[in-house]
Structure 1
Amino acid sequence: RIEKGTREGLPHPSAARLHIDEAPAAALVTTHSEDGLVTDSAASATAFLTGSKVPNGVVSWRRASDGTVDSLETVLELAIRQGLATGVVTTTRLTHATPACTFAHVPDRGWETEIAAALVPEGGNPRLGRGIDVILGGGFREFLPSGPTRPGTRTDGRDILAELERSGYQVVRTRSELAQAAAANSEKLFGAFAPSHMTYEIDRESTSPNEPSLLEMVQSAVGQLRNKPNGFFLLVEGGRIDHAHHDTNGRRAIEEMLEFDEAIGWTVDALGPDALVLVTADHDHSMVLAGYAPAESGVFSQAGTDVNGVPYSTILYANGPGGEVPTELDESVLRNPDFRERAGVPLRSETHGGTDVPLYLFGPRAKERTSRATIDNTEIYGILRDEVLGGSPKS
């Protein structure tokens, strides 16, 4: 928000408003997992997509008390069962934790080649039926066989992209192919635009111009789904916000959030007041804004000096890799996309945080959907389930 205000030239940049700030209703969300004070993305996504708490690292799966395996039905699978169209859009690998929790059921989020196989219609996950209608993101290596001249990681020899094509998907790999497919209004669309995670938005045009932006993927997905007769369920993840935080890379995290917010604003405007749009985070991070920098300095500024006279910036992290502390922290240093913010506890990767996260609600009866200021992430599932089933909103 502050960075947006700086770009808009506001006297006090904190006065800027993001698209999410226009939501008519909001709540705070607790995010702990079954076995941790702080959740990982798999456990959190499982919670809001299935209504069940699971241990960290588990993807929409749990072992029942009698030892049997319970593949927890997800909101996306429920939507398919109810005849709705479905879609998944992410800037991470499609087999990464959050998107995987919509369609896969495994005890370990690291089983990414198995997660990829679940997307083949009538294959690894029979609940998907004829398949998810639109699937867009990164990580094509998990769908292709490995070998000296092959770009994949699969050791079973399967070419999942070819299997998806045989199942009726139009498979696209570039930004231009996505635009052409969107114009053709393909019946089923699969796009994987990078071998692993997609490129950060701030770097995309200069280093990976063939990759679409998150906004472009959302526009394509909504264009494919909005004319389906029974409505649709679409999960959109701005997943690289998380990755930038793990690197204590505040500039990239903020740029990713601004792109995500643009996608939210476009979606709310495009779908109108009759569409339910929920916006939340699967977990917190350890980033904080601290010190007493003047308002006009913006978020990429020096906040002060520590007891040793060493300068510190407005953005700090409780833990993480951090970076070398320069003797001067001017704006050119802090706005460098590769600059790593200072971290309190040195770690190879910054951790998630356990603080409550916001939930924003747009659409019909938004204020009725939650009657309490703080809810658990499992209760988000109830809101989504009731909308998919067409029932009354859940408090």
Structure 2
Amino acid sequence: MCRFMRRIVLLLFMGMLTLSSAAPVQDPTPAPGTPTLRLIPLSGAMFAPGQRFDVRLEANDIQAPPKEFSIQVNGVDRTREIFGGQEFVTFPLLDGGGRPSARLGGGVMRRAWSLDRPGRYQISAALILADGARLTAQTTVEAVALTPERTPARNIILFIGDGLGVAQRTAARIVSRGIQNGKVQGLLEMDAMDAHGFIMTHSLDAAITDSSPSAGAYATGNKGVNNSHGVFPDNTGANAGASTAAGNAELARLVLDNPRIENIAELLQRTRRMATGVVSTVSVTDSTPAAFSSHTFARTAEAGIAEQILESGHSVIMGAGTRFFAPAGSAILGNIRSGRTDGRNLIEEFQKAGYTFASNASGLEAAARPQKLLALFHPRDMPSRFDRMRARAGDPNGREALGQFPDQPDLETMTLRAIDILSRNPNGFFLMVEAGSIDRQYHMMDPHRAIFETIELDKAVGAARAWARRQGNAGTLILVTGDHETSGLSITGVMENGRAAGRGFPSYVDENRDGFPDNARPQRMLAFDFAGTPAAANENADHYYELPRNLIDLNPTSPRATPLPRYLGHTATDIFIAASGPGANLFGRVMDNTDVFFAMLRAVGYR
């Protein structure tokens, strides 16, 4: 072999070594029935110094309770410190349908442990089985060294548009601001921020995330599996939980007991005495607001999530989802069925805990400035801004969409009311505001309602930015982002009188300058398409619907309600983040979604 060829072979061999050393080492899959041991947190987990998380040691397919177990941290035995005198509890593992099987598992868990000093920690464990066999497991986690900003923010307002990607923002800009001679006639509020970056959104178990783990990444700094937030997977609920927890009380309990990670609201309440709150246009038990208020392996366990919200410490909870707080037969639910089966009235429990309750816009206005507020404006989700505006204008289709709940506030009003309450805290506040129906509408291929939802979000951003300016702009970090992209939206041009136009611009007009087009269906309107759905995309040429496609959820007794349409999915496309205020510079880069958590902590000066 010539010298040149030997050199090529050597380089290839070295490259293979480099690739193999860079890739994570995967344990071979054990044969079915082989006893296994796992340590939680999972390898790669990252925490802020002092952030609390649960430690769990669990085994599958063992034959009997083990003789003993131990755990070491960086080679030092910490069994008694971490687990105290707890026993390793065994139980039948669940099968795929959520039923107990013949397989035996077990585990032991320490709640609310923490790593106070930055650094990498190797945690190893051993389990001695009844027959004397020894199982081992290890995990490597990190307490992240955080360099606080020199001029820290006092407050954080995090705006999340569920399903909001770059194309969704572009569509809202064109419709809201208009184009003349090839130039957009103004920027959105979220366009005019100090720093702009991109976020990668993958979950722990999938390239395409859903809202729970994506919001959970912002809230905790850690990845989660799809349909979960604020927890690590364990062996108590198997994989049956996500699909069956809503109708099975025992499974709901199991999916709510997973190993937890302290979220940013809990952390800032405990360590900084900051006030916290969540605002959403959908149910406050839904994935995004719930990720800042609860911990669950199954986002469908919404009755249990509502119970956790009662214990969350939030000063403001505002949105929809009354059916998970009120028992069956409550007049406040109107024609929508309760989501509770236990008879509990959580609204009364919130009131006993010192919360003022409001169920409509009039009640919100009358509530003035309470110390703590629970405001729920619809049993399911708030109807779209498009339909709320049409109902106020007397349009019968808008009134049909609002059904028995006609008196609902706008997101900018909700945002300012939340800020007004939270800003009384001398230690500052953290507020998460979600426009949840951007996602809902793009799922149903209704881009026009989705655009109104995006413009509404932008108006709420503008209201918060104006408030911050009145405070001197010195103390409030404002962030605007999505949690993932929904529908694979593309803006394909202009339609004129229902037909594709080769040239020209949309003819949306905003005479009253409220940010919304006066006519959502002008002569020339934007044309859209959605990734991977050529047949579905042609079911309605301009994707304009007089009634919301989820009318059956909003007003189920309406004679005009039809079954829900086939949903479009999420994509793995990167999403944007925009930032203004102290610490905005931390977000002007390409980030993993977990990085947002640590950047927010740096912005408020957390060490």
Question: Normalising by the residue count of structure 2, what TM-score does the alignment of the two structures yield?
Answer: 0.55
Query: Counterpart of 2:528 in structure 1: which amino acid?
Result: I
Query: Counterpart of 1:32 in structure 2: which amino acid?
Result: H
Q: Is the 8 A contact 2:275 2:430 kept in 1?
A: yes
What is aligned with 2:223? 53
What is aligned with 1:153? 339
Are residues 295 and 301 of structure 1, via their aligned partners in 2, closer, same or farther at CA, if it must alter by over 3 Å? farther
Are residues 66 and 296 of structure 1, via their aligned partners in 2, closer, same or farther at CA, if it must alter by over 3 Å? closer
What is aligned with 1:74? 263
Q: For the residues of structure 1 that align with 2:579 and 2:215, how far apart are their CA atoms?
A: 18
Q: CA deviation at 1:24?
A: 1.0
Q: CA deviation at 1:210?
A: 0.5
What does residue range 99-178 of structure 1 map to in structure 2 within 5 Å?
99-121=289-311, 128=312, 131-147=313-329, 151=333, 152-178=338-364
Q: Is the 8 A contact 1:178 1:191 kept in 2?
A: yes
Q: Deviations over 1:56-114 (max 9, x none)?
A: 00021113699994211111111211200111000010100011111111110000000
Query: Counterpart of 1:248 in structure 2: which amino acid?
Result: M
**How many residues in Structure 1 have an aligned counterpart in Structure 2?**
360
What is aligned with 1:271? 468
Q: For the residues of structure 1 that align with 2:331 and 2:598, how far apart are their CA atoms?
A: 47
Q: CA deviation at 1:146?
A: 2.2
Q: For the residues of structure 1 that align with 2:482 and 2:573, how far apart are their CA atoms?
A: 11
Partner of residue 445 from structure 2, selected from 228, 248, 266? 248
What is aligned with 1:231? 428
Are residues 225 and 62 of structure 1, via their aligned partners in 2, closer, same or farther at CA, if it must alter by over 3 Å? same
> Based on CA coordinates, which of the two structures has the bigger radius of gyration?
2
What is aligned with 1:343? none
Are residues 355 and 225 of structure 1, via their aligned partners in 2, closer, same or farther at CA, if it must alter by over 3 Å? same
Q: CA deviation at 1:153?
A: 1.9
Q: Is the 8 A contact 1:252 1:337 kept in 2?
A: no
What is aligned with 1:217? 414
Query: Counterpart of 1:191 in structure 2: which amino acid?
Result: A
Q: Deviations over 1:199-218 (max 9, x none)?
A: 10011141344011111110
Pairing 1:351–2:591 present: no
What is aligned with 1:19? 189
Q: For the residues of structure 2 that align with 1:19 and 1:277, how far apart are their CA atoms?
A: 11
Query: Counterpart of 1:71 in structure 2: which amino acid?
Result: R
Q: Deviations over 1:244-296 (max 9, x none)?
A: 00001000110000000010011012023221011110001211112575342
Q: Deviations over 1:152-199 (max 9, x none)?
A: 221111000000000100011010110111x2x101000001010011
What is aligned with 2:558? none
Q: Deviations over 1:230-255 (max 9, x none)?
A: 10000000001000000010001100
**Alpha carbon RMSD of aligned pairs, Å?**
2.9
Q: For the residues of structure 2 that align with 1:245 and 1:324, how far apart are their CA atoms?
A: 15
Q: For the residues of structure 1 that align with 2:357 and 2:331, how far apart are their CA atoms?
A: 21
Q: Deviations over 1:290-340 (max 9, x none)?
A: 2575342358899x9xxxxxxx972111246946646xx5xxx65555598
Are residues 66 and 204 of structure 1, via their aligned partners in 2, closer, same or farther at CA, if it must alter by over 3 Å? closer
Pairing 1:374–2:593 present: no
Pairing 1:84–2:274 present: yes
Q: For the residues of structure 2 that align with 1:364 and 1:166, how far apart are their CA atoms?
A: 38
Q: For the residues of structure 2 that align with 1:166 and 1:120, how far apart are their CA atoms?
A: 11
What does residue range 198-217 of structure 1 map to in structure 2 within 5 Å?
198-205=382-389, 206=391, 207=399, 208=402, 209-217=406-414
Q: Is the 8 A contact 2:178 2:507 kept in 1?
A: no
| Unmatched 5+ stretches in structure 1 | 122-127, 305-311, 341-346
Q: For the residues of structure 1 that align with 2:447 and 2:372, how far apart are their CA atoms?
A: 37
What is aligned with 2:201? 31
Are residues 358 and 242 of structure 1, via their aligned partners in 2, closer, same or farther at CA, if it must alter by over 3 Å? same
Q: For the residues of structure 2 that align with 1:269 and 1:148, how far apart are their CA atoms?
A: 39
Q: For the residues of structure 2 that align with 1:43 and 1:194, how far apart are their CA atoms?
A: 25
Q: For the residues of structure 1 that align with 2:484 and 2:290, how far apart are their CA atoms?
A: 16
Q: CA deviation at 1:2?
A: 5.1
Partner of residue 62 from structure 1, selected from 232, 245, 249? 232
Q: CA deviation at 1:119?
A: 2.0
Pairing 1:260–2:464 present: no
Q: For the residues of structure 1 that align with 2:483 and 2:325, how far apart are their CA atoms?
A: 26
SS for the counterpart of 1:248 is coil
Q: For the residues of structure 2 that align with 1:282 and 1:202, how far apart are their CA atoms?
A: 22
Are residues 10 and 323 of structure 1, via their aligned partners in 2, closer, same or farther at CA, if it must alter by over 3 Å? closer
Q: For the residues of structure 2 that align with 1:219 and 1:288, how far apart are their CA atoms?
A: 33
Percent identity, aligned pairs only, is: 31
Question: Normalising by the residue count of structure 1, what TM-score does the alignment of the two structures yield?
Answer: 0.83
